[in-house]
Structure 1
Amino acid sequence: MSGLSASGVPPPKNAFRIPASSIAVANTYMSLAAFLSALVIGSVLHYKKIVKNSVAGYPHEWFPSVSAAIGDWYPERSIFQILCALTSGPRFMSTFLLYQQAATEKPHSKVPTVLLVSGVVRTLACGGWMFITSSDDHDAHDFFMILYIVCNIPWMYSCIVLTNVTNSRAKKARYLACASFFGAIFPLVYFFIQHKVHRVAGAYTRYSFFEWGLILCDVWFDSIMESDFRHTQLYLFGASDAMGTKILSQTLLDREDLRENRSLDQASPRIVDATLPNLISSQWKVQLEFASDLYTAFVFWSVFTSLIPSLFWFSVWELGIAGHELALLTCLSPIIFAIPKTLGWAQSRWGSSALFAATMLGQLAYYVRRPLSRLLTVSAANAAVFLHQTAYWSQPENTNTLYPGAITALGLLLSSLCKHLNYSVNPIWPFADLQSSKLNKFGLILSLLTLLERHTRTDRQHASKVIRSTPFGLKDYFCTSLPIGGLLFTLHSLMSDCSTLVAWTWTGYSHYQPKGPLPHIHGPLILIAQCLGLLIATMFAAPTSSPSPLLHPAWLLFGVGSFTITYRYQDWLGFFGALGFCIFVFAASPSLLRRSWPANVSAQVYFFAMLTYCVLGLASVWTVAYAFVPAGHLLRERSDIVSILQLGSIALGFRFPKFRRLKTTVGIAPSARSQIRIIVTSIALSSLLATLYKRPSQLVRPYTSAPGVITTGIWTLHFGLNNLGRDSQRQLQKLIGDMKLDIVGLLETDLHRIVFGNRDLTRRVVEDLGYYVDIGPTGPKSHTWGAVLVSKFPIINSTHHLLPSPHGELAPAIEAVVDIHGTPVTVVVAHNGQEEDPLDRELQSTELARIMASSYPRPLIFLGYVVTKPLATRPNPYEILVTDGRVHDIDKDDRDRWCEYILYRGLYRTAYARVSRGTVTDTELQIGQFMLPRHGHDIVDDSEAARYRRSRKEDVPSYLWMPKQYYGKGVNRHFYHVFKTPLYYKLPEGAVV
């Protein structure tokens, strides 16, 4: 058979020919052989072992899962992995052949590249979960499995789109296989939750059916490639180029001309060169540029959002203006572009590379130990990142495209996803905890690769077109600067973490169920709404001369209405308003960030835009920090004013009749729209899969199996930044887990503000240790510093209180009823005001006493921050709380206290300990251990003499002992101090527990 290559060279007669369809067939049968051999051999040799799991065994579980069949026992594991290794050759080859065939037929389409990238990544991920089994490393196995499923989305989509129009049977088969594959995921997840969370015997067997179904559907989908290659031949032969250099092998594809339907002997076959140099084409460069732009936007948001938490750490320690706030002025760095030629330099290859390299200082600041030095480094990086970003936004070729705004919004989505995956902490933040250095190093490597790509990128010819011929007046500055500043503030303050708007609407529990969404479970719905908004933006981003409907006042009305619902209502209704507001903001973002002014005013426009951002940012802090800032009373608890200002600023960017608007053709190139949609869809799906993966796999249970034992703690966490200015979640989790605390009150925990990085301080404790959580009166509209209750016992219901505060800071309190082994117990977590406002403290203590007394005689535990000395008389809080609240102090003889107190009633106190703060905060952890009377019995002797019968540790049961590793020097600078040991107490005579 004869034919010509793309270069006109026919394959020699002695060329080795392989039917390409045989490669797809080999892939299919070898894949089936690998899995079925493991299933059969495992069932024959180790049946009862591979059907047994952590919940049940045979006969309740009688069909093995894929993981158990392929990875737990020899020899089936080894046979499976050998066959899988052999399968990799046909699998990779069929992927490359399908790409080359599709790229030849559709040379201008980006879908073949999507197919190739997703095909290679899914194959590598497949090797990951096949060769790293769940018994080797459960987390790595699950990660590669989830990555494989996610990559199947673009892979299957690309295969369906690229199926030849004449091969309708293959297209129908692919549709059916794809629908079967993704349809099986929903019952798969349901039965997995039944098994892991509810521990239902037999649920894993049902899960296994769908797991095997996924495997079969996946193999079925890939087997359809055989019909794509039915008329394709593979030639392998040696050849020489014009210089006489020997080419070892060359792959040629010979495809029948299906359109003319000629026979194989009559057709002049089209043979395409598929050597490696041809694969590195312009398509790859476009994909690489897009990835570089996306990561650059991610770094922009990472450095930008790290500045204010780095500087506000000093304000928290000083409890007032410390002078470090001047670092915020680095956001105004674009004014430098007012100097002639600086903007042109920043937009050049060398200038852009230099600025991005300076931006990387924000990541390198992670290795700076001193908080002040770290702040200076981050400030320099922040100045550079704004110069780099505004130079990019100001490029003349970005005038008529929405791409820069869309990629900026996409970078924020990627940052928010990374925070959701990493306990609400951006992994490349300079103040991330010291144990996450691997993630920061990986981020630096990606930044270096991005820098290399941007520096080697082909220079574009900048247009010298002047957009406006008329003068740029004051109204023009208002209509361009304020919308950008208001939008950046909105994106930063509300959209940079998927749990922030959830916290805005949270009100607690009712009848064992949360009244609204939970941050760690329903936060991804915020991400999905944001992704939907950006997808809507791409729908209206085709080049057109018509004005964008996303800048119409009707769209603004939808956004304002959604935000109003979020601000005025709570629970699910408020949350639905938040979803609508997310869609509005991300849909409008690309249009609002589009440059539409002469290049010679870019410096002033971005200067006033960032000045607007700074003013709104400071105003948002003033609403809650009014007691510590100048003129704080003007904005005290007035987040409504800040919200009106930010929405009003954004509104100026919309198309009102009286505003002269620029009429230019705007849009996004089709290839970029396709890339953005793929990434947006991947982010949305990844957030869902990650949430399912991170949900606790077991029921929440108390640490001590002994009935009636409750270990409680109170800790003021200083906003989740430790004494070195780093995130303290890991230290918090370590101490709470070691101390086996069943109920913990955490104070100064509302981090859903730009000054704290919009974080969720409870995420690591809840996800890794397994707790129910009530995040208390939170969100900026509550105007408190926050209180949190985490509990190993179910929360029956809870009520949030804002305590009377006529002069000082607003004090939060949580009143919860907790089900402790069938007995309702009231738990109160509260944070009183500062010592500077005695009237506030008196009123707050009176209200707390009323709350506690109202639940008498129900057992009660009070965990609070109360600024008072022990045994202090009225009007000091101590006597008001103890006497009017009808409670007991955990130990009145402990006179070395000032702000943290544990009070109780209706319980037997068994132990009391004070644990030093270490480097986590400026306040210790206090622990109180209690025991409930047996159900149906009351406290037998509540006298002071009975309550203060102290005991030696050796005289109480061992299950009541505090952890011994914290005696002496302790762990991580945490140790029993003041008494040097926990205090233990005897139960009164006749106590029934």
Structure 2
Amino acid sequence: MSTSAEVVRPKGLVFKAAHLARVHTVLAFSAFLSALAIGSALHYKKIVKNGVAGYPDEWFPSVSATIGDWYPERNIFQILIALNSGPRLALVLLQYYMHRKPSTSLPGLVMLSGILRTLCCGGWVYITSTDAHDAHDVLMISYIVLNVPWMFGTIACTPMQNTRIRRRRLFVSMVPMIYFFIQHKVHRIPGAYTRYSFFEWGLIIFDIMFDSAAELELEAANLEIGVGTISEGAGADDIVTVGHFSVAAKSTTVKTTPATMAISSQKTVDHAVSPSPAPATVVHRLSLVKHFVSDMYLSYIYWSIYTSLTPTLFYFSVWELGIAGHELSLLSTLSPILLGIPPFAEWCRTRSGRTALHILSLTGLAAYKLESPLHRLFVVAFATSVVNIGAAVDWTGPDASYQTIVAGLGFLLSSISKHANHSNNPVWPIVHEQSGGYNKTGIVLAIIAILDYAARPASNVLTSSTDKAEPIHKAPGGSWLRESISLGSLIFTLHCLLADSSTLIAWSWIGYPVKGPVPHLHGSITHVAQALGLLLPLLLTTPSSAGLDVFLHPLWFAYGCGSAYIMYAYKDWLGYAGGANLAVFLMSVFPAIVHRAASTGRIARTFGLAWLIVCVFIVTNVFTVAYAFVPGGEYFREHTDLVLTAQMAALGLAFRWPGLKGQTRLRTTALSKRARVATGSALAALTVVSLLVSLYRWPSKVIQPHRPGPRIVRSGIWTVHFGIDNEGKDSQRRMRDLIRDMELDVVGLLETDLHRTVFGNRDLTRVMADELGFYVDIGPGPNQHTWGAVLLSKFPILSSTHHLLPSPHGELAPAIEAVLDMYGTNVTVLVAHNGQEETPLDRELQAGELARIMSSSYPQPVIFLGYVVTKPLALRPAPYEIMVADGRVLDIDEEDWDRWCEYIFYRGLYRIAYARVSRSTITDTELQIGQFQLPRHGFGVTDDSREARYMRSWKEDLPPDHWFPMEYYPELGGKRGHFYHVFDTPLYYKLPEGALL
């Protein structure tokens, strides 16, 4: 067909596209402002009233109250918003039409975020907070989060020559919108509803102002929209019809059929618009999306099974307090060495072979049904060997560029699933339905993904830019030994630092007052950093250029090393910033380092040795804290710095160092455009999900003690054995249930530092803090070489200090010294874990330091909750006399002779009850509880003589708020395997005569 024909202006309606943007702005402002005006005129006092106060304390309504509660403003608003939906979606499509280019998928991603953003907007304005509060909040938060890719993407797509548009979008819209968002969601003051409302209205106004900037861009493009007829002289090359819509350049002659729309421009169109997909094409694209999601989920299953191996096997090491022999199951990760058998390797690379490996991996998910920890370990080790073979096959196959990116997405997804599930992966075999597991759901989804993999066509156009599989480029002369070491270090470092989003935060945590990120709330920042790191190779590896080699430049390695140093050397936000930058670095080099390992051509030995390096790092990393229980452990004692240095040095072997022989430039097959779009969309979606989880978990309940009236404090100490119960299952929720039933206000938990590979990078405080409402101090972090201590408090923590107690011969002992505001009185609470019986000097020195800490605050009230290896009333050099006498404290009950390791000491309080609760099968240690009553504010204890303190009482002679739960009495059968033991009842005490309360 001729391309020189001229456009015949349609006979119907013709108007500038910029007018559509103006209509959108007018309708949007009209909808919100009319609702505000009508609502203020008819229902002013009703829409400013909230659950806390009304007029005149609150005098400006929120958006939700204005648009969702009353007739007629609600109805007028919804009609105007419905009319605005057409211009809104048309603007999204018009902006995509102007910005689209064959070389980038960014306009498509921006269009997708714009459509989703519009749908979420419709959701929260039509489902008001009165209709369904949770649905309204979720849609509103989703709308706010989607603003980020929409606004930044739109700014990035705006042509550089349109500087006025770019400047208006950035400075007039983004800066105040972000400011108001932070003020609205993070720094809001409870009860300040009017100021909250200004933030909410500010978000709406500046959002509309941002979208109004599209008018300037449409005006600059001189786009016109016409509805009418087009002459019959046009051919298929002149116009492409999409349903009833047609797109053409103004320099061509175009003919339309009735009810078509032509969008013409004064500029020459520089590329053709693809025809509308036929139904078969739509089905094909949906199939590609299904294949991509299946691949990503199978990658998630891979990381889930691999990361479950170490917490499954370390159960035995903890019970043995030494090397138990089960550690040999780590060698199951060396299974890629079997690919050195040619027939086996050839079978693994076939579709049927790879499908069989996927099916066998399901045993790792089904292992949760096994009751025996040993049987569970055998099955998980087998599944790990299977998935590692599969990973080696995928990462070295003809579609390795695609598979390495999918592997990165699966790793990020596994971390997000832990973030959403209180730090436990929901498909791990150490969890089940009662402990936060979704094992059956995970298995069903895995089966669906495997079926999709087995049934898909042999050619997958997601895998390469040419839609044809290309082999890995070999690098003759490259050192397989060097690549193995660097790959092994990378895998371990990812597992050690990024398998859980709060691990980096735990490295930087120093206590109260909080000056850095909080593990429970800021984990999403780690996910954003990971997503950014994985996005970098995606952006630099285009169909025209395979740019992974840039990530192996020594300068990029220097960036990673600098980030690692900052993470190790600094605390609070600066230290965490170093960790976040290290996350960007590690995720960005993952595809390149895997490609280097694959390019050696010696897959079996390269990947086998890489996993041996991973095993070595796992052992040395745990030896930095477990040195007291292993042969030669003293050489690794407290040397996380050396282990981290070795990790980075091993990583550095993959980089292109000047003068290093045997290195060639990395050549890779670029990702296809479809794969890049899918990956970018997945990264955006995963980041949004992580942010939504953080917002959902944001504390909303008021934290307060159980008995504020009589000023009672119920405190407990519990050594929780690393959150693994006697059956090898996660015990967070079982611990939560007992702490909840006992109504504890202050809890000391010991053996809690689980931010290590051997413990699964978990956080035992997540469930209790979220569901029971506690302030949390997680104590010394994983880089402090202790087994960990945690303080949970219903009282505000004014300040806290983390101590490493003297330990010249044995394991480092942690302690948390915290000052709590208990009903207006400052009370020092000390949570500590002392050394073992094998190190008497350590215990003596540690007892002296704890006594010094307690005596330094005399005569202020003190509660000590700790693990102290001593007998009651034992004389020096045993810890008991040192701590009680030198610390100037009192024993909770010195007549309780049947104690060995858990003790409660106190000073300046009235001890009114004492209970010992059996552990059931949660751990190897009971829960001890001390109940105290504070003296009247400004007064001390009137009589702390032994006679006054040991006036015992029956519970019936005391007010009911002094009583412990009745259902835990052994004669009533106890509850969930717990009951009062030793005394078979809590011990109660009378207050001394003349006590001022």
TM-fit CA distance, 1:54 = 3.4
Give 1:142's match in structure 2, choosing from 137, 150, 170.
137
Q: Could you tell me whether the CA contact under 8 Å between 1:333 and 1:387 is conserved in 2? A: yes
TM-fit CA distance, 1:677 = 4.7
**1:801 alignment partner in structure 2:** 803
Q: TM-score normalised to the size of structure 1?
A: 0.84
Q: Does 1:231 align with 2:231?
A: no
Q: Could you tell me whether the CA contact under 8 Å between 2:309 and 2:381 is conserved in 1? A: yes
Q: How does 1:506-905 map to 2 (within 5 A)?
A: 506-509=509-512, 513-538=513-538, 540-542=540-542, 544=545, 548-595=549-596, 601-656=602-657, 657-666=659-668, 668-669=670-671, 671=673, 672-673=675-676, 675-680=678-683, 683-684=686-687, 687-688=690-691, 690-697=693-700, 700-706=703-709, 708-779=711-782, 781-905=783-907
Greater mean deviation of Cα atoms: 816-825 or 673-682: 673-682
**2:463 alignment partner in structure 1:** none
**1:467 alignment partner in structure 2:** 474
TM-fit CA distance, 1:744 = 1.4
Greater mean deviation of Cα atoms: 674-683 or 785-794: 674-683
Greater mean deviation of Cα atoms: 20-29 or 520-529: 20-29
Q: Structure 2 vs 1, CA of residues 268 and 93 (structure 1 numbering), >3 Å: closer, same or farther?
A: closer
Q: Could you tell me whether the CA contact under 8 Å between 2:296 and 2:410 is conserved in 1? A: yes
**2:383 alignment partner in structure 1:** 381
Greater mean deviation of Cα atoms: 601-610 or 412-421: 412-421
Greater mean deviation of Cα atoms: 618-627 or 128-137: 128-137
Greater mean deviation of Cα atoms: 289-298 or 944-953: 289-298
CA distance in 2, matches of 1:63, 1:776: 43
CA distance in 1, matches of 2:26, 2:366: 50
Q: Could you tell me whether the CA contact under 8 Å between 2:918 and 2:926 is conserved in 1? A: yes
**1:62 alignment partner in structure 2:** 59
Could you report, residue by residue, the CA deviation over 1:23-59 in whole angstroms, capped at 9, with x for unpaired residues? 9999999988986787677667755444322332222
SS at match of 1:928: strand
Q: Could you tell me whether the CA contact under 8 Å between 2:316 and 2:324 is conserved in 1? A: yes
CA distance in 2, matches of 1:642, 1:598: 28
**1:332 alignment partner in structure 2:** 334
Which amino acid in structure 1 is aligned with residue 225 of structure 2?
A: H
Greater mean deviation of Cα atoms: 363-372 or 853-862: 363-372
CA distance in 2, matches of 1:315, 1:91: 64
SS at match of 2:790: strand
CA distance in 2, matches of 1:853, 1:873: 19
Which amino acid in structure 2 is aligned with residue 991 of structure 1?
A: A
Q: Could you tell me whether the CA contact under 8 Å between 1:71 and 1:134 is conserved in 2? A: yes
**1:242 alignment partner in structure 2:** none
Q: Does 1:983 align with 2:972?
A: no
TM-fit CA distance, 1:306 = 1.2
Q: Structure 2 vs 1, CA of residues 187 and 117 (structure 1 numbering), >3 Å: closer, same or farther?
A: closer
Q: Does 1:434 align with 2:426?
A: no
TM-fit CA distance, 1:432 = 3.2
TM-fit CA distance, 1:709 = 2.9
SS at match of 1:896: coil
Could you report, residue by residue, the CA deviation over 1:46-96 in whole angstroms, capped at 9, with x for unpaired residues? 554443223322222233333334555688778988998x77995998599
SS at match of 2:818: strand
CA distance in 2, matches of 1:223, 1:452: 48
Greater mean deviation of Cα atoms: 633-642 or 493-502: 633-642
CA distance in 1, matches of 2:729, 2:437: 16
Q: Structure 2 vs 1, CA of residues 806 and 178 (structure 1 numbering), >3 Å: closer, same or farther?
A: closer
Q: Could you tell me whether the CA contact under 8 Å between 2:151 and 2:174 is conserved in 1? A: no
Could you report, residue by residue, the CA deviation over 1:125-147 in whole angstroms, capped at 9, with x for unpaired residues? 45654565545654443333222
CA distance in 1, matches of 2:378, 2:721: 22
TM-fit CA distance, 1:392 = 0.8
Q: How does 1:88-99 map to 2 (within 5 A)?
A: none
The percent of aligned pairs where both chains have the same amino acid is 47
SS at match of 1:841: helix
Which amino acid in structure 1 is aligned with residue 629 of structure 2?
A: F
Could you report, residue by residue, the CA deviation over 1:490-531 in whole angstroms, capped at 9, with x for unpaired residues? 11011222221222233333xxx2354432244444334434
CA distance in 2, matches of 1:653, 1:818: 50
Which amino acid in structure 1 is aligned with residue 989 of structure 2?
A: Y
CA distance in 2, matches of 1:293, 1:569: 39
TM-fit CA distance, 1:537 = 3.9
SS at match of 1:875: coil
CA distance in 1, matches of 2:703, 2:335: 50
SS at match of 1:454: helix
TM-fit CA distance, 1:417 = 2.8
Q: Structure 2 vs 1, CA of residues 674 and 942 (structure 1 numbering), >3 Å: closer, same or farther?
A: same
TM-fit CA distance, 1:613 = 0.4
Q: Could you tell me whether the CA contact under 8 Å between 1:234 and 1:253 is conserved in 2? A: no
Q: TM-score normalised to the size of structure 2?
A: 0.84
| Aligned residue pairs, count | 955
Which amino acid in structure 2 is aligned with residue 602 of structure 1?
A: I
CA distance in 1, matches of 2:532, 2:89: 36
Q: Could you tell me whether the CA contact under 8 Å between 1:467 and 1:596 is conserved in 2? A: no
TM-fit CA distance, 1:888 = 0.8
TM-fit CA distance, 1:604 = 1.0
Q: Could you tell me whether the CA contact under 8 Å between 2:169 and 2:210 is conserved in 1? A: no
TM-fit CA distance, 1:752 = 0.7
Greater mean deviation of Cα atoms: 225-234 or 692-701: 225-234
Q: Could you tell me whether the CA contact under 8 Å between 1:25 and 1:226 is conserved in 2? A: no
**1:311 alignment partner in structure 2:** 313
Q: Structure 2 vs 1, CA of residues 162 and 698 (structure 1 numbering), >3 Å: closer, same or farther?
A: same
Runs of 5+ in structure 1 lacking a partner?
5-12, 236-248
**2:282 alignment partner in structure 1:** 280
CA distance in 1, matches of 2:975, 2:218: 62
Which amino acid in structure 2 is aligned with residue 458 of structure 1?
A: A
CA distance in 2, matches of 1:739, 1:811: 28
Q: Could you tell me whether the CA contact under 8 Å between 1:914 and 1:976 is conserved in 2? A: yes
Q: Structure 2 vs 1, CA of residues 812 and 97 (structure 1 numbering), >3 Å: closer, same or farther?
A: closer
TM-fit CA distance, 1:379 = 2.3
Q: How does 1:119-198 map to 2 (within 5 A)?
A: 121-122=116-117, 125-126=120-121, 129=124, 133-135=128-130, 138-155=133-150, 172=165, 176=169, 180=173, 183-195=176-188, 197-198=189-190
TM-fit CA distance, 1:332 = 1.0
SS at match of 2:874: coil
Q: Could you tell me whether the CA contact under 8 Å between 1:773 and 1:790 is conserved in 2? A: yes
TM-fit CA distance, 1:615 = 1.1
Q: Could you tell me whether the CA contact under 8 Å between 1:941 and 1:988 is conserved in 2? A: yes
TM-fit CA distance, 1:260 = 4.9
**1:206 alignment partner in structure 2:** 198
Which amino acid in structure 2 is aligned with residue 309 of structure 1?
A: P
TM-fit CA distance, 1:155 = 4.8
Q: Could you tell me whether the CA contact under 8 Å between 1:909 and 1:929 is conserved in 2? A: yes
CA distance in 2, matches of 1:141, 1:753: 38
Q: Could you tell me whether the CA contact under 8 Å between 2:883 and 2:889 is conserved in 1? A: yes
Which amino acid in structure 1 is aligned with residue 62 of structure 2?
A: S
SS at match of 1:902: strand
SS at match of 1:812: strand
Could you report, residue by residue, the CA deviation over 1:247-282 in whole angstroms, capped at 9, with x for unpaired residues? xx9932134533559898999969997576166176
Runs of 5+ in structure 2 lacking a partner?
3-9, 230-240, 264-272, 461-467
Q: Could you tell me whether the CA contact under 8 Å between 1:91 and 1:123 is conserved in 2? A: no
